[in-house]
């Protein structure tokens, strides 16, 4: 979960500030010498590099100064003013803020001011995100990125990429988010901003926290907290402490989580950061619920709601209701808990956060079960299980994509540096040769040969990279191990079984009549069946079990440390789960079944022999009527 105030990205309040009051109409004051120059100075502070280190209070002060200094009748400066004033924290009515942004956009288009047009459109994207949800806002941000990619507005492009990455991270697209952050860093440097942008580092660290790289995220948050304390940027100190609180909560350190949220609340209270108080109390309440302090959690949730209401912000209503329900459930009041869960459902569905929705289904199922509503509890648990499976599959896919992106980025950086170094070295040699006339022809020839060598090296490196990707160990369709990977792992497990004399069983699975599904519904439907059923199987396996795809619809599961009689219940569980699957997204009447063969490794047995015995057991299952387990 993010902190209460969405981060103001660099110069344009990229993730909009909390709204605290009605937007005031500006009234021009009489002209005076130097007003236009002073206006331009404040405008540059709002849109230039200085804005990235600005606090909310300082940013608002610059906007108010621009409002006062705006020269009457100056249409161009009026357009520039409107393109940034739409980012003010004074818009308590989001619909009015969106209308103001649309008007600013039309004015910028009318006079051909490209920069003001992009900034006004950025405001519009932020208001749409808050009114209609992040997915709608992402469409606007995608349009802006395409609009600015080939423009000279590199800093603005960086800010929009950072905003889009933040929205993608909120929606669980962590690999794409990190790619946008990488592009934003490059855009900042292209704009002449060589230093690391703290807001970008913060968003990157939050994304690493969400993907489970807690050590890297903690190092950044801890270091940044000390830096921001030295700068007395208390808003950023509060944000870092809140993020540390959630990091410790997710990584299993409840006491450190409580301490971090309490520190965040102390900072917000001491420096009168009203909205941050609500965000800090909401995080503290979550940590207290995890520690069993339910009454204290309810008190903090009530105070958090008051803080958000004082700022006319209802974006956290869903999470507040969910946490209140969890606290009531902890106090043994399932009826009251269900009332809070009902209030939480609408806002959470609107936000599109699948992780929070899974939390809601799980909590609601527990309260329904406590009241004896078993049918409702079972339905909610199934919803939770399906979402959890989907989220786990997505997380594995995001981690796989992240590794690919990081490898590709590092490979390109390394290759570019090497090529630049070699090219610079060769160029010096060519210049030296050109200084002597008698070597001119030889120098030209050498230059051509060097270029051909660099091209050949680049082609060879590209071919090697493509070969490495081809050897990837993850099946691209299902996200499980490939045949190469699972067989390599089986060799390791067999060696370990010999060394420590532990048992090892393998399960060979084959979906029954899968060809008929492909023939009737098409291969895309067959692919969706494979993705769905492997997700179900993976969820049912033990922690140390491993599954891999060894054929079109054939799969191999390794079950270490168990004998044949212990492996059979696992196979039966997979069999029953397969029978129970409904696939309404293909055909409500469609059912699937699986045949399973089991074999236990003997001491010193080869992989080929063990797999052949499991395959023979699978053949017997097929021969004896399918949809069964044989050993």
CA dist 470 and 248 (Å) reads 38
Longest dimension (CA), the chain: 98
Per-residue pLDDT of 183-239, as tens digits, reads 888 888 888 888 778 888 888 888 888 877 888 888 888 888 888 888 888 888 999
Domains in the chain, please, with CATH? 1-211 (1.25.40.10), 483-630 (3.30.70.270)
Task: Supply the DSSP symbol for 559.
Answer: E
What is the Cα gyration radius of the chain?
30
CA dist 361 and 348 (Å) reads 11
Which tokens in the block code for residue 26?
Answer: 């500006």
CA dist 431 and 416 (Å) reads 22
CA dist 235 and 231 (Å) reads 11
Per-residue pLDDT of 522-556, as tens digits, reads 999 999 999 999 999 999 999 999 999 998 899 99
Select the more confidently predicted residue: 34 or 23: 34
pLDDT confidence band for 106 (50 / 70 / 90): very high
Backbone angles phi, psi at 312, to 5 degrees: 55, 45
Which tokens in the block code for residue 469?
Answer: 């990707």
For residue 550, the model assigns a pLDDT of 92
For residue 16, the model assigns a pLDDT of 30
Per-residue pLDDT of 329-342, as tens digits, reads 999 999 998 999 89
CB-based contact 168:131 (threshold 8 Å): no
Q: Coil, strand or helix: which one is 558?
A: strand
Per-residue pLDDT of 379-418, as tens digits, reads 988 888 888 787 777 666 655 666 566 566 666 566 656 6
For residue 445, the model assigns a pLDDT of 79
Q: How many CB atoms lie within 10 A of CB 276?
A: 28
Query: 173-187, 327-341, 596-610: which range is least confident on average?
Result: 173-187
Calculate the CA 459 to chain-centre distance.
34
Among 490, 497, 487, 488, CA closest to 604? 497
pLDDT of 420 strictly over 70: no
Q: How many CB atoms lie within 10 A of CB 238?
A: 28
From residue 483, alpha-carbon distances to 393, 466, 549, 606 in Å are 19, 19, 6, 16
Backbone angles phi, psi at 193, to 5 degrees: -100, 95
Query: Which residues, 6 or more positions from 373, have their beta carbon under 8 angstroms from its beta carbon?
Result: none
CA dist 361 and 385 (Å) reads 9
CA torsion 446→452→458→460, rounded to 10°? -110
Task: Supply the DSSP symbol for 473.
Answer: S
CA atoms within 13 A on the CB side of 66: 26
pLDDT of 14 strictly over 80: no
């Amino acid at each position: 979960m993010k902190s209460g105030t969405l981060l103001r990205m660099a110069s344009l309040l990229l993730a909009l500030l909390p709204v605290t009051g009605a937007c005031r109409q500006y009234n021009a004051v009489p002209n005076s010498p130097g007003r236009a120059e002073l206006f331009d100075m404040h405008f540059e502070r709002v849109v230039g590099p200085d804005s990235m280190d600005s606090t909310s209070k300082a940013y608002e002060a610059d906007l108010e100064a621009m409002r006062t200094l705006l020269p009457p009748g100056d249409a161009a400066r009026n357009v520039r003013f409107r393109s940034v004033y739409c980012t003010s924290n004074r818009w308590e009515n989001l619909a009015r803020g969106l209308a103001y942004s649309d008007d600013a956009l039309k004015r910028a288009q009318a006079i051909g001011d490209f920069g003001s047009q992009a900034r006004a459109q950025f405001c519009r994207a932020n208001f749409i995100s808050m009114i209609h949800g992040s997915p709608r806002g992402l469409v606007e941000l995608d349009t802006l990125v395409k609009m600015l990619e080939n423009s000279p507005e590199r800093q603005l492009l960086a800010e929009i990429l950072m905003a889009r990455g933040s929205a993608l991270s909120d929606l669980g697209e962590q690999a794409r988010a990190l790619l946008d952050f990488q592009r934003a860093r490059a855009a900042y440097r292209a704009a002449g901003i060589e230093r690391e942008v703290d807001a970008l580092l913060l968003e990157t660290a939050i994304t690493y926290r969400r993907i489970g790289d807690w050590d890297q995220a903690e190092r950044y948050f801890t270091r940044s907290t000390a830096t921001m304390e030295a700068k007395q940027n208390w808003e950023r100190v509060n944000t870092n402490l809140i993020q540390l609180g959630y990091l410790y909560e997710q990584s299993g350190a409840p006491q450190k989580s409580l301490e971090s949220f309490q520190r965040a609340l102390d900072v917000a209270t001491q420096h009168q950061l009203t909205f941050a108080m609500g965000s800090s109390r909401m995080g503290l309440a979550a940590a207290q619920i995890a520690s069993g302090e339910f009454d204290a959690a309810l008190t903090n949730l009530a105070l958090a709601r008051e803080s958000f209401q004082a700022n006319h912000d209802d974006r956290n209503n869903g999470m507040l209701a969910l946490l209140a329900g969890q606290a009531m459930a902890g106090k043994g009041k399932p009826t009251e808990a269900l009332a809070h869960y009902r209030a939480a459902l609408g806002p959470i569905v609107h936000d599109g956060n699948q992780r929070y929705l899974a939390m809601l289904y799980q909590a609601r199922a527990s309260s329904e079960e406590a009241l004896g509503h078993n049918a409702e509890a079972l339905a909610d648990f199934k919803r939770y299980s399906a979402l959890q499976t989907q989220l786990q599959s997505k997380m594995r896919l995001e981690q796989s994509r992240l590794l690919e992106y990081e490898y590709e980025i590092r490979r390109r950086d390394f290759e570019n540096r090497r090529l630049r170094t070699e090219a610079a070295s060769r160029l010096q040699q060519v210049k030296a040769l050109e200084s002597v006339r008698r070597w001119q022809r030889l120098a030209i020839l050498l230059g051509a040969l060097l270029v051909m060598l660099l091209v050949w090296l680049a082609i060879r490196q590209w071919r090697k990279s493509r070969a490495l990707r081809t050897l990837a160990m993850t099946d691209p369709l299902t996200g499980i191990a490939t045949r190469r990977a699972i067989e390599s792992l089986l060799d390791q497990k067999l060696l370990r079984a010999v060394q420590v004399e532990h048992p090892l069983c393998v399960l060979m699975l084959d979906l029954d009549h899968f060809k008929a599904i492909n023939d009737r519904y098409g291969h895309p439907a067959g692919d969706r069946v494979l993705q769905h059923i492997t997700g179900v199987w993976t969820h049912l396996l033990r922690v140390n079990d491993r599954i891999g795809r060894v054929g079109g619809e054939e799969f191999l599961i390794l079950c270490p440390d168990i004998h044949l009689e212990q492996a059979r219940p696992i196979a039966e569980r997979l069999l029953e789960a397969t029978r129970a699957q409904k696939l309404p997204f293909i055909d409500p009447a469609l059912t699937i079944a699986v045949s399973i063969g089991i074999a236990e490794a003997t001491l010193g047995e080869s992989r080929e022999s063990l797999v052949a015995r499991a395959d023979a057991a699978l053949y017997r299952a097929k021969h004896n009527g399918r949809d069964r387990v044989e050993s």
